[in-house]
Amino acid sequence: MASHSYFKSIRFKLLAIIIVFFTIISGSLYLTMGYFTNQKIENLEESEAILQLDKVKGLIQYELHLMHSIVGDWAYWDETSSFVTNPNQEFI
């Protein structure tokens, strides 16, 4: 019967309320901080991905520019080679 009186005491009820309160507050903070941290991480990852894609886009444009200059040079030589093997007035 002594154990029943302990559960009815004000000290036990106050301790139980404090434990429940801190558990709820801790859980709420954990979930809230997790949500905002996830948002920040997602935003950082998105901005990093955009930055990386811009770099790739720049590299592709650079390579296309180089290829255009090389192909342009070869195009003149192809026309000259065609003229040598088959002379025509269009080339002149």
Per-residue pLDDT averaged across 4-17, rounded? 82
Total domains in the fold of the chain: 1
Residue count of the chain, please give it.
92
In a domain, 90, yes or no: no
In a domain, 56, yes or no: yes
Do the Cβ atoms of 83 and 91 come closer than 8 Å? yes
In a domain, 92, yes or no: no
Q: Which tens digits make up the pLDDT trace of 36-58?
A: 888 899 999 999 999 999 999 99
What was the pLDDT predicted at 75?
Answer: 66
3-state SS of 39-79? HHHHHHHHHHHHHHHHHHHHHHHHHHHHHHHHHHHHHHHHH
What was the pLDDT predicted at 59?
Answer: 96
The residue segments making up the domain with residue 12 are: 2-85
What was the pLDDT predicted at 22?
Answer: 96
Whether the per-residue pLDDT at 1 is higher than 50: the answer is: no
In a domain, 13, yes or no: yes
Its pTM stands at 0.49
Backbone angles phi, psi at 26, to 5 degrees: -65, -45
Cα of 71 vs its chain's centroid, Å? 36
Average pLDDT score over the chain = 85
